[in-house]
Structures are given as structure tokens and as C-alpha cells.
Chains A and B, each alone.
Chain A
Amino acid sequence: MKIVDIALKDLVRSTRSLFLIGMAFAAPLLLTGLIYLAFGSIASGNLSLPDITLGVVNADALPADAPLDASFGESIRSMFFDESVRSWITASDYPDEAAARAAVDAQEIGVAVIIPAAFTEDYLAGKKDTVITILQDPTLSIGPTVVRDMVTSLLDGIAGGGIAFNVLNERLAANGQMLDPASIPSFFERYAAWYTDFQRAMFHSPEKAALVVTSPAAESEMSDPVRSMMGMMMSGQLIFFSFFTGAYAMMSILQESEEGTLARLFTTPTDRTTILAGKFLAVLFTVIIQGVVLLVAGHYLFGINWGEPGSLTLSLLGQMFASVGLAVLLVSFVQNSKQGGLVFGGALTMLGMISGLFTANIEIKAFDLMGNFTPQGWVLKAWKLSLAGSPANELVAPFLVLATMGVVMFAIGAVMFRRRFA
């Protein structure tokens, strides 16, 4: 019972600490909100990129002798009319560049892609001066950039196909063989299939460029690129501030030591394990409350779908174990609350950075690698899986890693505390 009394007292004190409330709830919501405001509209409650209105002028045609099923121009055009991008790209055909330019000038469309006549023929002939023109409304930035990236990505693939074709020809010639013209279309077909897989693996497929997450459970919500990005950003904030809150809340033991109340507690008929357990429980409650509040706020404010209930629960519990364990460990090393402020700020920012918390929506291999050695890195893995709609059984492994890390860190910290206050 005394454990709960101590925990409740600490919780009441926490609610009266403006700093803790600010860092636990206001800061993560504020930072995520700023990012949200940069990309979406909070007033309308419609969290999405502004629709890209696109005009396509495809003057290209498939040369009679081309070893292809369709012209490159048609491939580019069909990408913008594809089902997977229809929710955020509205594409229309225009007969010529003048009509497309007039539509851009009149702001009927934001971007126009002009594919010149004989683009496929010139490309296959090795001509370098045939270019695709992109016209854009000068007041727009994100939409034209996305369209340009999509076209570039596809052209990269086409270029790669050409290189692969030439290499194949040279290898065959070196061996005194010739490529059977009838097999060329199937070569390009196989190459296209490989290239699509390759792009998916590299997160540069047209689908990925549109930030479509193809998990069935989350497909409808997460197909919105901004919502997906907000989920990643918010999870980074959630993790960083959860660890910070845990450490700061645990620091109350140092503050009590400085205020003399810890010594006074030791003079009461309350054993030291009970006192430590009470303080630990308060930190646990604080981190859980913070996590739940931020998850709910993230869902309703930014439209984030955190994943299936089981996955979400495992992620949150794993985060709780790890943040409390690290809090106990860190606090056991510092001598006073002033030192604690500096150590926590430095250590948690450093760990957060190398775990990729501040770049959660970008794949950086170095951070992925380093994240394997930090609790924050594993929490991020868990949230990424949950956000991608992974079922709970896929979260078991990260959860177990986090629980183990939490227990080990807690055990080391508890031993150090017992020595200090023996």
C-alpha cells in the first residue's frame, strides 16, 4: 500500500511541475504540430497533401521496329493515371504543349509533363538531346517536385534497361553469339519486373514515391503520404520525450535526496525497497499516461493510425520498459539533479540521434545499424512495424528485446541505488 502512496504522491507532484508537463505532453505535440502545419491543414481536419493536378502531353509513339510493347512516353503517362496514385494525383491528357501551358497559366493544373514526339525512337537510337519538359505553377513546390521525382525515377529505370540490354549484347557478341530479336520484348519485360522489385526494395518504386504502404490493415489510412510521414515523425517525438520524461520523473529521487525528504522517508517504518518501488511505479505511471495521451492526441489531431491494438500495446509496453529501465540506470549514475539535467539532455539527445528518432521518416542505414544497440532504436523499430499495420506476432521479438533491455538496465540501476542509499 505504501508503494502506491509514494507513487501517487510523486504523480501529484508531477502534475504540478510545469516543466514536466511541458516536456511530456506539450513539446512533442507542439513539434509534431509544427511539422503538420507545414504539410497539412489542421483547420480543415483533412490531413493530406494538396491534390496534384497534372496535365500530360504524350506525343510519343512506339516505333514500328522497337523491341517493346509500349512506348516510353506511354509508360510515363500511364504512371500518372495508375490506380495507386489516383487518390492524390488528378491527371488529364492534353493534345499539345500550348494547351498544357495555357492550362498551367490559368492554374487549371499545377504541373504539366510534355513528352516529345519520337521520344522512344530517339532514346533507342542513342540521341541525348530529346528531353521531357515539365511545366509548373510557380507558386507550387511540393507537387512539381514529386512529379519530377516520379519521372526521373522511371527514366532511371529505362536508362538502366538500356545499359543492361547493351551489356547483354556485348557479352553475347564476345561469345560469338547474337541476340534473337524475338526475345528482346521478353528481355525488357523481365527487366521491368526486376526493376520494379528493385525499386520497392530501395523504397523508390512509383508506389513508394507516392508513399503508399500496401499493408492491407492500414492501406486506406496510410496511403496518404503526409499521414504516413506524420506517423513516423510523431513516433520519433513520442519515443524521445518518453525517455526524457522517464528520466526526469526518476530524477525525483535525487530531488528528494536534496530536499531532505528521502532521508526523512528512511526514518519512517518503510523499508528502502518499498520506497524505491514506489518511485519506480510513479515513473511507470507517468510514462504510460504520457504514451496514451500522445497516442490519442496523435490519432485525433494528426489522423495517425498507430496500428492494430495488439501491436500498439506491445510497442507502448516495450517503450515503457525501456524508458523506465534507462531512466533508473541514468539516474543511478548522477550525483544531483543539476548534474542530472545536463546528463539526461546530452545522453538522451545523443541516443535519440543515433537511433534515428529525429529522422524517423527517412531511411538512414547508419542509424538503422546503430539503433540495434540502443533501446530507442528498438522502440522505433516496434513503432515502425505497428504503423505499417504489422500484426502483433511480428512485434513480439522487438518487445522481448526491449523488455530484456529494460530489466537489465533497471537491475544495474537498482543495485547502484541500493549501494548509494544503504
Chain B
Amino acid sequence: MPFAIEVKNLKKSFGDLQAVQDASFNAEAGEVLSLLGPNGAGKSTTISMLSGLLAPTGGDASIMGHSITKEPEAAKSSLGVVPQDIALYPDLSARENLVFWGKMYGLRGAALKQRVDEVLEIIGLTDRQKDHIGKFSGGMKRRVNIGAALLHKPDVIIMDEPTVGIDPQSRRHILDNVKALNRQGMTVLYTTHYMEEAAELSDHIAIMDRGKVIAYGAHDQLIKMVGEETRIDLTLNTDGEKVLAAWKATQGVSQINSLDGKVTVLVDDSNRVLPHLFEEASKAGARITSVEIQEPNLETVFLHLTGRALRD
């Protein structure tokens, strides 16, 4: 069985800038695949190519077996795209918007009417269908934004950071929607820079950084990449170059990253190593003002792979 999404050595350059470099990953039908990475990692460029907005500089990808370069119309027909920002007509009503987008996916007549009614029901806006989008709250607009991508019952849906800049309640609603769509058999490609979302939703995760896919696998597989390492975030009262050098030499410490007075240390056993970290700091005349211990997670994986925190 072919993959629902198959990406092979996809490339995109803008002049000298290589925004995506040989990106490769797959998504089986019915799974949720997350593209995780910091801003500028190349996630949006990748999905712009998959959704037909940008032409790849090299490589290819297919949606439900249709090449995005050779059969773009067929690939697009299998795809529903939820843009990051609201992409609707504010001076048209919710129903008028859905009818228009349905027509763009080739729906007509009674089938279109029925499907618009169904989608209005799904997004919970049947009673507000005649109101102009411009009068809607941010959360309601988001729901219509998603609804417009569901009209033609696509096999694959791409959601580009749909939770950026919204309140926790709307975020929860969207995450639940993604799960519900996936339960209906839809393959979801979800981009985010929130590792919690990727961890909660995904069957597989492709981590991107600086245009490259640096890791790909299931959540547990990725965590295993960093072994049993625990992450300790500390804050020092000085810049502490001496302390960092001493910590680096401490047994059990595998990696240290320092930024703006905050130090992140990967260790094999926090219970054993942490007292040594305090001791070395004390010897160097520095004082630790805060400590936070985190079990291995995607953030730890990203740090392990790039030497930088996901949020940097």
C-alpha cells in the first residue's frame, strides 16, 4: 500500500538560501504526522510545496500516490489545507464561504448543499451560518477555517501551526478536532513548534531544523535517541565560565548549553549528578538560583541533536 504522504529528497531554494534541503519522510494512511521544529526550520516551506503553493527546486512528493510535480491537480484534490492564518472572506457569511470553497473543490448542487450543512454541524456554527465572518470571534473563524478544508472529504489534511496565537481553550478545541478527524480515517500532517502538541497528537514526528529533517520516528523512538538522559535547567547568579568548565568535566554530564544566564545540562542520573553540580558551583564562588529537572522529552531530543533548545 502506498503512503498517504511520501516525501523524497524535497528541496527548495530562494536564491542562495536553501530553505528545505533533501527532506524525506512518509505518512501512512490514517496516521498523524507532525513536523516539529523552531521558527524558520523549513516546516511551512515544506507544506507549501506539498499543498502546491511553491514549486520544489528538487526532489518530489506524492499525496495518495499522486506526484505533486506531475499530477498537481490530482494531488490537490486529495488534500485539504488549513492555513496558519485565517484565509476566509470576511464580507461573506460562513455559509457563503463554505459554498465557495466547496465549489473550488468541485462540489456542486445538492451534494454541495448537503456537505456544507454537515460541515457547519461539525464546526458547530449552524446557527451562525448567515453571519459574516468578519463579525466572528477568533475561535469561530478558526473553526470555519478548518471547516473549509473538510468540505471535499479529503484523504489527507495539512494543518499549518493552527494553534499559533490563540487562547488555551481554542487550542484544546483544535487539538480535539484533529484527533476526531484522524479517528474518521483522515491522514493529518500537522506542523508545530510546540513539542507538547506533537507528543500528544502524533503517530510519527519529523523534526526539522535549518531546512533539514534531522530525526524521524515515533515519539518513543525519538526519546530513545537520547537514551535515559534527564534534562536539568539551572540559573546562575554569575556568567560562570569556570562553573561551566567544571560541570562539563563532571562524570554523568553529556552535554551543556548556556544561553542568557540559563544553563541546560543533559545528565544520565539527576539524583547522582545534581549534588556535584552544586558543589562545583560553590567551589567556583557561584550560586545556583533556580533548578528544574525534566524527564527526557522531544525538547531534550532537539537539544541533543542541535545543541539548541527548541524555543531558541
Contacts and interface: CB of A to CB of B under 8 A. Distances in A.
Nearest to A262: B87
Nearest to A16: B91
A260 interface: yes
B87 A259 contact: yes
A5 B99 CA distance: 10
A5 B96 contact: no
B119 interface: no
Given A12-B96, A13-B92, A16-B91, A268 B76 contact: yes
B81 A264 contact: yes
A267 B79 contact: yes
Interface string A1-23: 11001000100110011000000
Q: Is the interface of B mostly helix, strand, loop or mixed?
A: loop
Interface residues of B, number: 28
Contact of A263 (B53, B77, B96): B53
A270 interface: yes
B105 A269 contact: yes
Nearest to B106: A269
A267 B103 contact: no
B228 interface: no
B86 interface: yes
Given A5-B100, A5-B104, A269 B89 contact: no
A269 B76 contact: yes
Interface in B77-122: 77, 79, 81, 83, 85-92, 96, 100-101, 103-106, 108
A17 B92 CA distance: 11
B261 interface: no
Nearest to A268: B104
A271 B81 contact: no
Given A5-B100, A9-B100, A13-B92, A264 B106 contact: no
A264 B92 contact: no
Interface string A237-280: 00000000000000000000001110111111111000000000
Interface of B: 51-53, 55, 73-74, 76-77, 79, 81, 83, 85-92, 96, 100-101, 103-106, 108, 148
Interface of A: 1-2, 5, 9, 12-13, 16-17, 259-261, 263-271, 422
When A and B form their complex, which 10 residue pairs have the shortest distance between CB atoms, in order from nearest? A260-B87, A264-B87, A268-B104, A267-B81, A269-B76, A267-B51, A269-B73, A269-B77, A5-B103, A16-B91
Given A13-B89, A17-B91, 14 more contacts: A5-B104, A9-B89, A9-B92, A259-B90, A263-B53, A264-B81, A264-B83, A264-B87, A264-B101, A266-B52, A267-B53, A267-B79, A268-B76, A269-B104
16 contacts: A5-B103, A9-B92, A259-B90, A261-B87, A263-B83, A264-B83, A264-B101, A264-B148, A267-B52, A268-B76, A268-B101, A268-B104, A268-B105, A269-B74, A269-B76, A270-B104
